Amino acid sequence: MISYRLEAEGKMSRGSLVRMEQGALSEGDTLVRVLYSGINYKDALAGQGKAPIAKSLPLNCGIEAVGHVVESTNPALEPGQAVIAHGMGMGVARDGGLADYMRADSEWLVPLPKGLSLLEAATIGVAGYSAALAVDRLESLGVEPDNGPIAVTGATGGVGSQAVAMLARLGYEVVAVTSKTDAGELFRTLGAADVIAPPEASDRMLDKSIWAGAVDTVGGDVLAWLLRSAKAEAAIAAIGNAGGNRLPTSVIPFILRGITLTGINGNSPPALRRRIWERLGSDLRPPRISAIARVIEPEEIDETMAEMIAGRTRGRAVVAFCGG
């Protein structure tokens, strides 16, 4: 079998395409023949030696994969069944999905929902799942289309762009917040009502109330701005920290406007994971999924990761381990 495998390089890891024995894979009750695996920024950091992502080495890279069950000790899974895998320590503490085979724990595998092909599920990937989880959470907190505009920050990223499309499809007035304002036409095709740049940092505790809700992938000063400009009883789903780990805010938005700040963790329990993927095959299915997929061969993984780190990639890179 072939895999993009991480080896120790000083305090970091470095990936390369290798051949390995299937019997050397991490333990798990189900063997999956991987057909597609999306490349995420976290994978690129590990593969290019930019961050200490992997907790044990050597290790196959990749925090997600889709494919067919080969064998399983769980009678609920049949050979040939299409499944989705992500999280579970994949590519961090156990062998991940950038390989043509992987072992997984059956309780975390999600049957491919109706309405999606395996390539579409791989294109949606962890980013789309996280976006759907955030949208589902806002709905559960009472954020409805009639409440007012919804902000999505870091909107050019994988999570942000899919959140824009999902919210627009559900009838929300979506404002894409991004420093890349030249991407306005792209966001209008995804359904955004407007595209704006994030404001400068401020020490103010409250601003004019604008947002009925938000999906924030940035954190830091941008999340602080969303909190102080949110409407009364608004809800904000925090899902990233590209803008920093610290949150320079106060209790004022919470106690004067009743704001809810809710965190989104993609390693959600199995029942929730399955429910969200069912929605991704139906009412949260992003439009034009195939248009954002860029299918590559395993031999292109290293180059693609380097381009991703340099900020030069477009669309969603999906590795085909099925020969096409």
**Do 36 and 101 belong together in one domain?**
yes
DSSP 272-314: HHHHHHHHHTTTTPPTTHHHHEEEE-GGGHHHHHHHHHTT---
Specify the pLDDT at position 206: 94
Flag whether 301 is in a domain: yes
**Do 245 and 174 belong together in one domain?**
yes
pLDDT in tens, 253-307: 999 999 999 999 988 899 999 999 999 999 999 877 777 788 999 999 999 999 9
**Do 173 and 239 belong together in one domain?**
yes
Flag whether 72 is in a domain: yes
pLDDT at 218 exceeding the cut of 70: yes
Flag whether 97 is in a domain: yes
**Do 108 and 135 belong together in one domain?**
no
Flag whether 284 is in a domain: no
**Do 250 and 144 belong together in one domain?**
yes
The CATH number that applies at residue 241 is 3.40.50.720
pLDDT in tens, 158-216: 888 899 999 999 999 999 999 876 777 778 888 899 999 998 888 899 999 999 999 99
Cβ contact 2:18 at 8 Å? yes
**Would the pTM of this model clear 0.85, i.e. be above it?**
yes
**Do 198 and 90 belong together in one domain?**
no
**Do 137 and 202 belong together in one domain?**
yes
Flag whether 200 is in a domain: yes
pLDDT band at 26 (very low <50, low <70, confident <90, very high): very high
**Do 140 and 106 belong together in one domain?**
no
**Do 255 and 306 belong together in one domain?**
no
Q: What's the domain range around 246?
A: 127-263
pLDDT band at 310 (very low <50, low <70, confident <90, very high): confident
In this prediction, residues 3-25 reach a mean pLDDT of: 95
Of 50, 69, 49, which is closest to residue 112 (Cα–Cα)? 69
pLDDT at 323 exceeding the cut of 70: no
Relative to beta strand 316-320, strand 293-296 is parallel
* Total structural domains within the chain: 2
Flag whether 244 is in a domain: yes
Flag whether 90 is in a domain: yes
